[in-house]
Amino acid sequence: MCDRLSKTKDQLIDALKETRARTLELVDDLDETQLMGPHLQIVNPLRWEIGHLAWFQEFWVLRHLGKQPAILKHGDELYDSARVAHDTRWDLPLLETDATLAYMSQVRERVIEKARRGSRGLRDAEGYHQGYFLNLVLLHEQMHDEAITYTRQTLSYPPPAISIAAGQTDVAVASSLGSPKSLPLTQTHTYVTGDAEIPGSTFLFGSTSEQGFVFDNEQLAHEVEIGRFAISKTAVSNGEFKHFVEDTGYGKSELWTAPGWQWRTSVGAEHPVYWRREGNRHWLRRNFDEWVALEERLPIVHVNYYEADAYCRWAGRRLPTAAEWEMAASAEPAQEDRGLTTHKRQYPWGGDLPSPERANLDWRAMGCIPVDMLPAGDSAFGCRQMIGNVWEWTASDFQPYPGFVAGPHKEYSEPWFGSHKVLRGGCWVTRSRLIHNSYRNFYTPDRRDVWAGFRTCAPQT
């Protein structure tokens, strides 16, 4: 399997370099105290996290595939997330910051050198080749860059100082997009309201190996029967969610599931975590280290599954299943209202790669944009921003697909089946290289620190 977005070895090497530059930008302005931060269950100490990124690349590319000796004598005891308990990461004898950065540089140079010299015929014992592992470590780092960004939000750090132009995309994608250009924030909004009606049909759910590199939990693609449903054309906005808050939705137990109500009472939630009331009806939202007036047309973000589900009950709606979400993003209507075609889109707009006109990704806007924007990214059924801007909770539990086989990184998916919920679509921090219609993200239902919101469906009849 080769990366669907990278056709040459040089492009993949460039992507590794660009992603590492982004990682360093995300922590460069932080002092030693900030790099460690407080003991919290929902974040990692950032000095540990960047060391873990280097260790992961070393382990899979240099040691697992290349059979090279470990660079750090006790690296596994410090940076292997599968064996180092989360609560202990603040107390480990981690490398100091300068030594961590030197280790990261050493690993990156060795990985790039191996990529330059490596042969596609080189495979591990399970038959996975070098291209697979280079993509694995690249996308792993891009995921952690998103985590570092929401850690900065969680800890009230300033927004990251990204020197790359606001419109710069993943370098492996940039050549197909032409010169980078800023997200068209000044465009006239094409307002959309209401639901998209999706006809019932058999649908191919999940990813196929023909798409290129995909994670184990996206496979195997399989047919599912989905009944007719109606899904909102946009994600729920701050303004819409505000009505739920002001109608004391957080105080009405009948709107919450038993686990959701238990969570709400245990944390004393009365509104989204980064909201604050000023006066009788004026709301503020914390954006990193600043309080700003609540932007009503931006998507609701930093709410968990329980909050999304309670809102749906209040509104007489429901969350889409992951299969419904993927169908709304990927399917195409047949002519004369005869159901769906057999063609499945890679992205809501078709097969072309993400661009600033279609999706808010790659830090382009340095935050969410209004839910009405970017009509060029609409799905065939008129659903807007199904890729980018804000992750979207679904009603589905994170479970293996039929025929699931764990990839080489066994801890990526399998340990989390049954305890997490599925999210779709990516957010403004997600990289273009990572996201597509079939990609599955997953978090426990209580997590509200991540860049997650939701869209809704009409009740089933």
Q: The CATH number of the domain where 22 resides is what?
A: 1.20.120.450
How far apart CA 207 and CA 4 sit, in angstroms, is 12
The answer on 269 and 406 residing in a single domain is: yes
The answer on 260 and 147 residing in a single domain is: no
Q: Which two tokens stand for residue 32?
A: 């030693």
How far apart CA 135 and CA 218 sit, in angstroms, is 16
The answer on 413 and 358 residing in a single domain is: yes
How far apart CA 34 and CA 30 sit, in angstroms, is 6
What angle is formed at CA 209 by the lines to CA 143 and CA 64, rounded to 5 degrees?
55
The phi, psi pair for 208, rounded to 5°, reads -110, 160
Tell me what pLDDT residue 203 has: 96
- Stated length of the chain: 461
Q: Name the domain boundary from 163, 192, 209.
A: 163
Q: What is the domain count for the chain?
A: 2
Q: Name the domain boundary from 105, 135, 163.
A: 163
The answer on 286 and 273 residing in a single domain is: yes
Q: Please check whether residue 276 lies inside any domain of the structure.
A: yes
Q: Which two tokens stand for residue 414?
A: 């399998």
Q: Please check whether residue 1 lies inside any domain of the structure.
A: no
Tell me what pLDDT residue 198 has: 96
The neighbour count for residue 451, using CB atoms within 10 Å, is 22
Q: What is the pLDDT along the chain (461 residues), one digit of tens a residue?
A: 343 434 578 999 999 999 999 999 999 999 999 999 999 999 999 999 999 999 999 999 999 999 999 999 999 999 999 999 999 999 999 999 999 999 999 999 999 999 998 766 688 888 899 999 999 999 999 999 999 999 999 999 999 998 754 334 443 333 222 222 344 444 445 667 899 999 999 999 999 877 789 999 999 999 999 999 999 999 999 999 999 999 999 999 999 999 999 999 999 999 999 999 998 879 999 999 999 999 999 999 999 999 999 999 999 999 999 999 999 999 999 986 678 999 999 999 999 999 999 999 999 999 999 999 999 999 999 999 999 999 999 999 999 999 999 999 999 999 999 999 999 999 999 999 999 999 999 999 999 999 999 999 999 87
Residue 1 contacts residue 213 (beta carbons within 8 Å): yes
How far apart CA 82 and CA 78 sit, in angstroms, is 11
How far apart CA 55 and CA 35 sit, in angstroms, is 18
SS3 423: strand
The answer on 206 and 155 residing in a single domain is: no
- Tokens 């980064």 belong to 274
| 279: CATH | 3.90.1580.10
The answer on 268 and 242 residing in a single domain is: yes
Residue 37: domain span: 9-163
Tell me what pLDDT residue 49 has: 98
Q: Please check whether residue 4 lies inside any domain of the structure.
A: no
Outline where 155-213 has alpha helix (H). Answer: 171-177
Q: Which two tokens stand for residue 165?
A: 């132009």
How far apart CA 321 and CA 310 sit, in angstroms, is 16
The answer on 184 and 142 residing in a single domain is: no
Tell me what pLDDT residue 164 has: 53
The answer on 181 and 123 residing in a single domain is: no
Closest of 450, 457, 409, 459 to residue 426, by C-alpha: 450
Tell me what pLDDT residue 125 has: 85
The answer on 127 and 62 residing in a single domain is: yes
The answer on 210 and 130 residing in a single domain is: no
Residue 373 contacts residue 302 (beta carbons within 8 Å): no
Q: Roughly what angle, to the nearest 10 degrees, separates helices 238-246 and 305-315? A: 80
Question: DSSP letters of 176-237?
Answer: HH-S-----TTSPP----SEEEE--EEEEES--GGGSS--GGG-S-EEEEE--EEEESSPPB
Q: Please check whether residue 216 lies inside any domain of the structure.
A: yes
Tell me what pLDDT residue 168 has: 45
Q: Please check whether residue 175 lies inside any domain of the structure.
A: yes
The neighbour count for residue 180, using CB atoms within 10 Å, is 16
The answer on 152 and 21 residing in a single domain is: yes
Q: Cα Rg for the chain, rounded, in angstroms?
A: 22
Q: Name the domain boundary from 112, 146, 163.
A: 163
**pTM of the predicted model as reported, rounded to 2 decimal places:** 0.92
Q: Which two tokens stand for residue 131?
A: 């291209």
Greatest Cα pair distance, the chain, in angstroms, is 67
The answer on 113 and 211 residing in a single domain is: no
Closest of 182, 138, 152 to residue 164, by C-alpha: 182
How far apart CA 117 and CA 206 sit, in angstroms, is 34
